[in-house]
Structure 1
Amino acid sequence: MSDSEWITELIKDTEHATMSDKQRKILEAAIDTFSEKGYSGSSTSEIAKKAGVAEGTIFRHYKTKKELLLAIVTPTVAKFVAPFFIKSFAKEVFENEYERYEDFLRVVAKNRLEFVRKQFPVLKIFIQEIAFHDELREPFQKLFADHVYEKFKRIIEHFQEKGEIISLPPQTIMRMTASSIIGYILPRFLLFSDMDWDDEKEIDQIVEFVMYGLSGRK
Protein backbone atom coordinates (compact mmCIF):
# COMPACT_ATOMS: atom_id res chain seq x y z
CA MET A 1 0.00 0.00 0.00
CA SER A 2 1.43 3.38 -1.02
CA ASP A 3 1.53 6.40 1.30
CA SER A 4 -1.35 8.09 -0.52
CA GLU A 5 -3.45 4.91 -0.40
CA TRP A 6 -2.78 4.64 3.33
CA ILE A 7 -3.84 8.26 3.85
CA THR A 8 -7.01 7.59 1.86
CA GLU A 9 -7.82 4.70 4.19
CA LEU A 10 -7.00 6.80 7.24
CA ILE A 11 -9.36 9.65 6.41
CA LYS A 12 -12.26 7.25 5.96
CA ASP A 13 -12.40 7.22 9.75
CA THR A 14 -15.03 9.60 11.13
CA GLU A 15 -12.38 11.18 13.35
CA HIS A 16 -10.45 12.28 10.25
CA ALA A 17 -13.37 12.98 7.92
CA THR A 18 -12.70 16.73 7.96
CA MET A 19 -8.99 16.41 7.18
CA SER A 20 -7.94 19.23 4.88
CA ASP A 21 -5.83 18.83 1.77
CA LYS A 22 -2.92 20.52 3.56
CA GLN A 23 -3.20 18.15 6.50
CA ARG A 24 -3.21 15.19 4.14
CA LYS A 25 -0.05 16.49 2.44
CA ILE A 26 1.60 16.97 5.84
CA LEU A 27 0.89 13.36 6.81
CA GLU A 28 2.13 12.05 3.47
CA ALA A 29 5.34 14.09 3.79
CA ALA A 30 5.81 12.99 7.41
CA ILE A 31 5.38 9.32 6.51
CA ASP A 32 7.97 9.65 3.77
CA THR A 33 10.42 11.60 5.95
CA PHE A 34 10.06 9.54 9.13
CA SER A 35 10.34 6.32 7.13
CA GLU A 36 13.52 7.50 5.41
CA LYS A 37 15.32 9.28 8.27
CA GLY A 38 13.61 8.14 11.46
CA TYR A 39 11.76 10.35 13.92
CA SER A 40 14.81 11.88 15.62
CA GLY A 41 16.55 12.54 12.30
CA SER A 42 13.59 14.40 10.81
CA SER A 43 12.67 18.05 11.23
CA THR A 44 9.32 19.76 10.89
CA SER A 45 10.90 22.26 8.50
CA GLU A 46 11.90 19.41 6.20
CA ILE A 47 8.43 17.89 6.41
CA ALA A 48 6.86 21.27 5.67
CA LYS A 49 9.07 21.78 2.62
CA LYS A 50 8.19 18.33 1.27
CA ALA A 51 4.49 18.97 1.89
CA GLY A 52 4.66 22.37 0.21
CA VAL A 53 3.36 24.24 3.27
CA ALA A 54 4.77 26.70 5.77
CA GLU A 55 6.25 25.16 8.92
CA GLY A 56 3.72 27.08 10.99
CA THR A 57 0.94 25.21 9.19
CA ILE A 58 2.18 21.96 10.72
CA PHE A 59 1.93 23.40 14.21
CA ARG A 60 -1.61 24.61 13.58
CA HIS A 61 -2.60 20.97 13.08
CA TYR A 62 -0.09 19.24 15.38
CA LYS A 63 1.32 20.94 18.47
CA THR A 64 4.59 19.00 18.45
CA LYS A 65 6.58 16.68 16.20
CA LYS A 66 5.65 13.81 18.50
CA GLU A 67 1.95 14.57 18.06
CA LEU A 68 2.52 14.35 14.31
CA LEU A 69 4.24 10.99 14.78
CA LEU A 70 1.33 9.67 16.86
CA ALA A 71 -1.15 10.94 14.27
CA ILE A 72 0.54 8.63 11.78
CA VAL A 73 1.32 5.55 13.84
CA THR A 74 -1.60 5.34 16.28
CA PRO A 75 -4.19 4.98 13.51
CA THR A 76 -1.90 2.42 11.91
CA VAL A 77 -2.15 0.28 15.02
CA ALA A 78 -5.89 0.83 15.33
CA LYS A 79 -6.84 0.57 11.67
CA PHE A 80 -4.32 -1.82 10.14
CA VAL A 81 -2.38 -3.72 12.81
CA ALA A 82 -5.43 -4.33 15.01
CA PRO A 83 -7.67 -5.70 12.25
CA PHE A 84 -4.76 -7.82 11.10
CA PHE A 85 -4.51 -9.55 14.46
CA ILE A 86 -8.19 -9.59 15.32
CA LYS A 87 -9.66 -10.41 11.91
CA SER A 88 -7.20 -11.37 9.22
CA PHE A 89 -4.52 -12.97 11.37
CA ALA A 90 -6.99 -14.74 13.66
CA LYS A 91 -9.18 -15.97 10.81
CA GLU A 92 -6.45 -16.95 8.37
CA VAL A 93 -4.08 -18.45 10.92
CA PHE A 94 -5.60 -19.40 14.25
CA GLU A 95 -9.02 -20.64 13.16
CA ASN A 96 -7.55 -23.30 10.88
CA GLU A 97 -6.61 -26.81 11.95
CA TYR A 98 -3.09 -28.05 11.33
CA GLU A 99 -1.75 -31.57 11.14
CA ARG A 100 1.74 -30.44 12.10
CA TYR A 101 3.25 -27.45 13.88
CA GLU A 102 5.42 -26.80 10.84
CA ASP A 103 2.26 -26.30 8.75
CA PHE A 104 1.11 -23.65 11.22
CA LEU A 105 4.58 -22.08 11.22
CA ARG A 106 4.62 -21.83 7.43
CA VAL A 107 1.22 -20.11 7.34
CA VAL A 108 2.28 -17.61 10.01
CA ALA A 109 5.49 -16.77 8.13
CA LYS A 110 3.71 -16.22 4.81
CA ASN A 111 0.95 -14.20 6.45
CA ARG A 112 3.37 -11.91 8.26
CA LEU A 113 5.56 -11.47 5.20
CA GLU A 114 2.63 -10.38 3.05
CA PHE A 115 1.35 -8.01 5.71
CA VAL A 116 4.70 -6.26 6.06
CA ARG A 117 5.06 -6.08 2.28
CA LYS A 118 1.75 -4.18 1.99
CA GLN A 119 2.17 -1.85 4.97
CA PHE A 120 5.93 -1.38 5.07
CA PRO A 121 6.32 2.45 4.76
CA VAL A 122 4.27 3.09 7.90
CA LEU A 123 5.31 -0.08 9.72
CA LYS A 124 8.93 0.98 9.28
CA ILE A 125 8.20 4.07 11.36
CA PHE A 126 6.38 1.95 13.94
CA ILE A 127 9.31 -0.51 14.16
CA GLN A 128 11.84 2.29 14.51
CA GLU A 129 9.97 4.14 17.23
CA ILE A 130 8.11 1.52 19.32
CA ALA A 131 11.02 1.13 21.75
CA PHE A 132 11.08 4.86 22.50
CA HIS A 133 7.40 5.75 22.93
CA ASP A 134 5.07 4.13 25.46
CA GLU A 135 2.10 5.48 23.49
CA LEU A 136 3.05 3.15 20.62
CA ARG A 137 4.20 0.13 22.61
CA GLU A 138 1.37 -0.24 25.12
CA PRO A 139 -1.55 -0.61 22.64
CA PHE A 140 0.45 -3.19 20.70
CA GLN A 141 1.22 -5.17 23.86
CA LYS A 142 -2.44 -5.14 24.88
CA LEU A 143 -3.51 -6.20 21.41
CA PHE A 144 -1.17 -9.19 21.47
CA ALA A 145 -2.23 -10.19 24.97
CA ASP A 146 -5.96 -9.92 24.22
CA HIS A 147 -6.16 -11.48 20.78
CA VAL A 148 -3.06 -13.53 19.97
CA TYR A 149 -1.40 -14.97 23.06
CA GLU A 150 -4.05 -17.48 24.17
CA LYS A 151 -4.70 -18.74 20.63
CA PHE A 152 -1.00 -19.19 20.00
CA LYS A 153 -0.58 -20.92 23.38
CA ARG A 154 -3.35 -23.43 22.65
CA ILE A 155 -1.78 -24.42 19.34
CA ILE A 156 1.60 -24.97 20.99
CA GLU A 157 0.08 -27.04 23.81
CA HIS A 158 -1.84 -29.12 21.26
CA PHE A 159 1.35 -30.15 19.46
CA GLN A 160 3.17 -30.68 22.74
CA GLU A 161 0.44 -33.12 23.76
CA LYS A 162 0.92 -34.93 20.46
CA GLY A 163 4.62 -35.20 21.23
CA GLU A 164 5.57 -33.27 18.11
CA ILE A 165 7.41 -30.45 19.87
CA ILE A 166 9.40 -30.43 23.07
CA SER A 167 8.02 -29.47 26.47
CA LEU A 168 9.21 -25.91 26.86
CA PRO A 169 7.01 -23.10 28.26
CA PRO A 170 4.64 -21.95 25.49
CA GLN A 171 5.86 -18.36 25.78
CA THR A 172 9.41 -19.58 25.10
CA ILE A 173 8.30 -21.38 21.96
CA MET A 174 6.34 -18.29 20.87
CA ARG A 175 9.46 -16.20 21.30
CA MET A 176 11.61 -18.67 19.35
CA THR A 177 9.06 -18.89 16.56
CA ALA A 178 8.51 -15.13 16.34
CA SER A 179 12.22 -14.27 16.49
CA SER A 180 13.01 -16.65 13.63
CA ILE A 181 10.32 -15.13 11.40
CA ILE A 182 11.08 -11.54 12.37
CA GLY A 183 14.78 -12.27 11.94
CA TYR A 184 14.07 -12.83 8.26
CA ILE A 185 11.45 -10.16 7.65
CA LEU A 186 13.33 -7.20 9.16
CA PRO A 187 16.56 -7.64 7.19
CA ARG A 188 14.47 -8.53 4.13
CA PHE A 189 12.75 -5.12 4.11
CA LEU A 190 14.93 -2.85 6.26
CA LEU A 191 18.54 -3.73 5.44
CA PHE A 192 18.68 -5.66 2.18
CA SER A 193 15.55 -4.70 0.29
CA ASP A 194 17.44 -4.52 -3.02
CA MET A 195 18.53 -8.15 -2.90
CA ASP A 196 16.82 -10.79 -5.01
CA TRP A 197 14.96 -12.73 -2.32
CA ASP A 198 13.41 -16.17 -2.78
CA ASP A 199 10.74 -15.90 -0.09
CA GLU A 200 9.42 -19.45 -0.53
CA LYS A 201 12.89 -20.92 -0.08
CA GLU A 202 13.65 -18.68 2.88
CA ILE A 203 10.41 -19.65 4.62
CA ASP A 204 11.16 -23.34 4.05
CA GLN A 205 14.55 -22.84 5.68
CA ILE A 206 13.02 -20.98 8.63
CA VAL A 207 10.55 -23.82 9.17
CA GLU A 208 13.30 -26.44 8.95
CA PHE A 209 15.49 -24.49 11.38
CA VAL A 210 12.74 -23.96 13.98
CA MET A 211 11.42 -27.51 13.76
CA TYR A 212 14.89 -28.99 14.15
CA GLY A 213 15.14 -27.30 17.54
CA LEU A 214 11.56 -27.90 18.67
CA SER A 215 11.35 -31.53 17.64
CA GLY A 216 14.02 -32.56 20.14
CA ARG A 217 16.00 -34.44 17.51
CA LYS A 218 19.63 -35.19 18.37
Structure 2
Amino acid sequence: MKNNRTRMNREERQVQITQVAIKLFVENGYKGTTTAQIAEAAGISEVTLFRNFESKREIFLHGVMPILTHTLEDKLKVDKDKSPEEVLESFLVDRLAVISENHGVVRLVLMENQMNHELGDIDFIKKVGGQIQKGLQEMGFKEGMQDFTMRLIMGSILSFLYLPETDEDTVREFAAELARTIATIDKNR
Protein backbone atom coordinates (compact mmCIF):
# COMPACT_ATOMS: atom_id res chain seq x y z
CA MET A 1 0.00 0.00 0.00
CA LYS A 2 1.30 3.45 -0.88
CA ASN A 3 1.76 5.92 1.92
CA ASN A 4 -0.67 8.67 0.82
CA ARG A 5 -2.07 9.26 4.26
CA THR A 6 -1.58 12.99 3.94
CA ARG A 7 -4.17 15.00 5.84
CA MET A 8 -6.76 16.08 3.29
CA ASN A 9 -10.11 17.71 3.71
CA ARG A 10 -13.17 15.70 2.62
CA GLU A 11 -13.39 17.29 -0.82
CA GLU A 12 -9.71 16.68 -1.60
CA ARG A 13 -9.97 13.08 -0.41
CA GLN A 14 -13.06 12.48 -2.54
CA VAL A 15 -11.28 13.84 -5.61
CA GLN A 16 -8.30 11.59 -4.90
CA ILE A 17 -10.47 8.50 -4.45
CA THR A 18 -12.58 9.29 -7.52
CA GLN A 19 -9.57 9.80 -9.80
CA VAL A 20 -8.04 6.48 -8.74
CA ALA A 21 -11.38 4.68 -8.98
CA ILE A 22 -12.17 5.94 -12.48
CA LYS A 23 -8.81 4.65 -13.74
CA LEU A 24 -9.53 1.25 -12.18
CA PHE A 25 -13.09 1.18 -13.53
CA VAL A 26 -11.84 1.93 -17.05
CA GLU A 27 -9.19 -0.80 -16.77
CA ASN A 28 -11.24 -3.49 -15.01
CA GLY A 29 -14.88 -2.53 -15.46
CA TYR A 30 -17.27 -1.63 -12.68
CA LYS A 31 -17.83 -5.20 -11.47
CA GLY A 32 -14.15 -6.06 -11.84
CA THR A 33 -13.11 -3.30 -9.44
CA THR A 34 -13.47 -3.68 -5.68
CA THR A 35 -13.49 -1.03 -2.98
CA ALA A 36 -10.41 -2.76 -1.52
CA GLN A 37 -8.57 -2.20 -4.83
CA ILE A 38 -9.66 1.43 -4.91
CA ALA A 39 -8.52 2.01 -1.33
CA GLU A 40 -5.18 0.30 -1.94
CA ALA A 41 -4.52 2.28 -5.13
CA ALA A 42 -5.43 5.51 -3.31
CA GLY A 43 -3.12 4.58 -0.43
CA ILE A 44 -5.90 4.65 2.14
CA SER A 45 -7.84 2.14 4.19
CA GLU A 46 -11.29 0.95 3.20
CA VAL A 47 -12.56 2.61 6.37
CA THR A 48 -11.33 5.96 5.05
CA LEU A 49 -12.89 5.22 1.68
CA PHE A 50 -16.26 4.52 3.30
CA ARG A 51 -16.00 7.67 5.42
CA ASN A 52 -16.03 9.57 2.14
CA PHE A 53 -18.41 7.46 0.05
CA GLU A 54 -21.24 5.16 1.02
CA SER A 55 -20.64 2.69 -1.79
CA LYS A 56 -18.72 1.81 -4.92
CA ARG A 57 -21.76 2.99 -6.89
CA GLU A 58 -21.52 6.42 -5.29
CA ILE A 59 -17.82 6.65 -6.20
CA PHE A 60 -18.62 5.67 -9.79
CA LEU A 61 -21.39 8.25 -10.12
CA HIS A 62 -19.27 10.93 -8.46
CA GLY A 63 -16.63 10.34 -11.13
CA VAL A 64 -18.76 10.04 -14.25
CA MET A 65 -21.64 12.45 -13.73
CA PRO A 66 -19.55 15.62 -14.15
CA ILE A 67 -18.21 14.30 -17.43
CA LEU A 68 -21.61 13.30 -18.76
CA THR A 69 -24.21 15.72 -17.50
CA HIS A 70 -23.30 18.38 -14.99
CA THR A 71 -21.69 20.75 -17.47
CA LEU A 72 -24.39 20.25 -20.10
CA GLU A 73 -26.84 22.66 -18.53
CA ASP A 74 -24.37 25.53 -18.56
CA LYS A 75 -23.37 24.89 -22.17
CA LEU A 76 -26.98 24.82 -23.37
CA LYS A 77 -28.09 28.07 -21.72
CA VAL A 78 -29.41 30.61 -24.15
CA ASP A 79 -27.11 33.59 -24.59
CA LYS A 80 -29.11 36.60 -25.76
CA ASP A 81 -26.05 37.88 -27.67
CA LYS A 82 -25.72 34.68 -29.72
CA SER A 83 -27.93 33.03 -32.31
CA PRO A 84 -29.24 29.51 -31.62
CA GLU A 85 -26.74 28.29 -34.24
CA GLU A 86 -23.84 29.90 -32.35
CA VAL A 87 -25.00 28.45 -29.01
CA LEU A 88 -25.37 25.03 -30.61
CA GLU A 89 -21.93 25.28 -32.19
CA SER A 90 -20.34 26.22 -28.87
CA PHE A 91 -22.14 23.34 -27.18
CA LEU A 92 -20.97 20.88 -29.86
CA VAL A 93 -17.35 22.00 -29.64
CA ASP A 94 -17.45 21.50 -25.88
CA ARG A 95 -19.15 18.09 -25.95
CA LEU A 96 -16.98 16.72 -28.75
CA ALA A 97 -13.86 17.78 -26.87
CA VAL A 98 -15.19 16.21 -23.64
CA ILE A 99 -15.98 12.96 -25.44
CA SER A 100 -12.61 12.83 -27.16
CA GLU A 101 -10.74 13.56 -23.91
CA ASN A 102 -12.78 11.09 -21.86
CA HIS A 103 -13.61 8.39 -24.38
CA GLY A 104 -12.49 5.59 -22.03
CA VAL A 105 -14.85 6.79 -19.30
CA VAL A 106 -17.74 7.32 -21.70
CA ARG A 107 -17.30 3.85 -23.22
CA LEU A 108 -17.25 2.42 -19.70
CA VAL A 109 -20.50 4.21 -18.84
CA LEU A 110 -22.23 3.01 -22.00
CA MET A 111 -21.17 -0.60 -21.40
CA GLU A 112 -22.03 -0.56 -17.71
CA ASN A 113 -25.35 1.15 -18.36
CA GLN A 114 -26.37 -1.77 -20.57
CA MET A 115 -24.98 -4.68 -18.57
CA ASN A 116 -24.88 -3.69 -14.92
CA HIS A 117 -28.08 -4.03 -12.92
CA GLU A 118 -26.57 -2.07 -10.04
CA LEU A 119 -26.46 1.00 -12.32
CA GLY A 120 -29.53 0.10 -14.38
CA ASP A 121 -31.78 2.67 -12.73
CA ILE A 122 -29.71 5.45 -14.28
CA ASP A 123 -30.17 5.71 -18.03
CA PHE A 124 -27.30 7.99 -18.92
CA ILE A 125 -28.32 8.26 -22.57
CA LYS A 126 -31.87 9.36 -21.70
CA LYS A 127 -30.53 11.78 -19.12
CA VAL A 128 -28.12 13.41 -21.60
CA GLY A 129 -30.72 13.32 -24.39
CA GLY A 130 -33.29 14.97 -22.14
CA GLN A 131 -30.90 17.79 -21.29
CA ILE A 132 -30.09 18.34 -24.96
CA GLN A 133 -33.79 18.33 -25.85
CA LYS A 134 -34.48 20.93 -23.13
CA GLY A 135 -31.63 23.10 -24.44
CA LEU A 136 -32.95 22.90 -27.99
CA GLN A 137 -36.35 24.08 -26.77
CA GLU A 138 -34.79 27.01 -24.95
CA MET A 139 -32.75 27.91 -28.06
CA GLY A 140 -35.96 28.14 -30.04
CA PHE A 141 -35.61 25.21 -32.41
CA LYS A 142 -38.95 24.17 -33.86
CA GLU A 143 -40.83 21.51 -31.93
CA GLY A 144 -40.91 19.02 -34.81
CA MET A 145 -37.16 19.41 -35.28
CA GLN A 146 -36.06 18.84 -31.72
CA ASP A 147 -36.11 15.03 -31.79
CA PHE A 148 -34.41 14.91 -35.21
CA THR A 149 -31.81 17.45 -34.08
CA MET A 150 -31.20 15.65 -30.81
CA ARG A 151 -30.56 12.41 -32.70
CA LEU A 152 -28.12 14.14 -35.06
CA ILE A 153 -26.28 15.60 -32.09
CA MET A 154 -26.22 12.35 -30.10
CA GLY A 155 -25.04 10.42 -33.16
CA SER A 156 -22.28 12.94 -33.76
CA ILE A 157 -21.21 12.87 -30.15
CA LEU A 158 -21.09 9.07 -30.15
CA SER A 159 -19.08 9.06 -33.40
CA PHE A 160 -16.36 10.99 -31.57
CA LEU A 161 -16.41 8.31 -28.91
CA TYR A 162 -15.26 5.71 -31.40
CA LEU A 163 -13.21 8.07 -33.55
CA PRO A 164 -11.73 10.50 -30.99
CA GLU A 165 -10.37 13.71 -32.46
CA THR A 166 -7.79 15.77 -30.62
CA ASP A 167 -7.22 18.43 -33.29
CA GLU A 168 -9.23 21.44 -32.06
CA ASP A 169 -9.58 22.94 -35.54
CA THR A 170 -11.11 19.73 -36.88
CA VAL A 171 -13.54 19.60 -33.95
CA ARG A 172 -14.50 23.26 -34.46
CA GLU A 173 -15.01 22.78 -38.20
CA PHE A 174 -17.20 19.74 -37.64
CA ALA A 175 -19.23 21.52 -34.95
CA ALA A 176 -19.69 24.62 -37.12
CA GLU A 177 -20.83 22.56 -40.10
CA LEU A 178 -23.25 20.48 -38.03
CA ALA A 179 -24.70 23.57 -36.30
CA ARG A 180 -25.06 25.31 -39.68
CA THR A 181 -26.78 22.26 -41.18
CA ILE A 182 -29.20 21.94 -38.27
CA ALA A 183 -30.01 25.66 -38.32
CA THR A 184 -30.65 25.56 -42.08
CA ILE A 185 -32.95 22.53 -41.80
CA ASP A 186 -34.78 24.18 -38.89
CA LYS A 187 -35.33 27.42 -40.87
CA ASN A 188 -36.63 25.54 -43.91
CA ARG A 189 -39.22 23.48 -42.04
TM-score grouping bracket, smaller chain normalisation: 0.5 to 0.7
Distance in 2 between residues matched to 1:209 and 1:147, nearest whole Å: 20
- Aligned counterpart for 1:151 among listed residues 116, 138, 143: 138
- Aligned counterpart for 2:90 among listed residues 95, 110, 117: 110
Distance change in 2, residues 1:206/1:91 (3 Å): closer
Using structure 1 for the length normalisation, give the TM-score. 0.54
Q: Figure out how many residues of one structure are paired with residues of the other and give that number.
A: 174
Distance change in 2, residues 1:125/1:133 (3 Å): farther
For residues 196-215 of structure 1, the C-alpha deviation after alignment (integer angstroms, 9 at most, x for no partner) is 57123323543465467657
Task: State the AA in 2 paired with 1:181.
Answer: I
Are the counterparts in 1 of residues 10 and 52 from structure 2 also a CA contact under 8 Å? no
Distance in 1 between residues matched to 2:42 and 2:109, nearest whole Å: 24
Using structure 2 for the length normalisation, give the TM-score. 0.60
Q: Which residue of 1 aligns with 2:175?
A: 203
Distance in 2 between residues matched to 1:83 and 1:22, nearest whole Å: 22
Q: Which residue of 2 aligns with 1:134?
A: 121
- Aligned counterpart for 1:52 among listed residues 43, 52, 69: 43
Higher relative contact order (CA 8 A, sep 6+): 2
Question: Is 1:176 matched up with 2:148?
Answer: yes
Distance change in 2, residues 1:125/1:49 (3 Å): farther
Q: Which residue of 1 aligns with 2:22?
A: 31
Gapped runs of 5+ residues in structure 1?
1-16, 99-103, 158-169
For residues 85-122 of structure 1, the C-alpha deviation after alignment (integer angstroms, 9 at most, x for no partner) is 2x442143xx3464xxxxx3454133232245358549
Q: Give me the identity figure in percent.
A: 19
RMSD (CA atoms):
4.5
Distance change in 2, residues 1:58/1:194 (3 Å): same
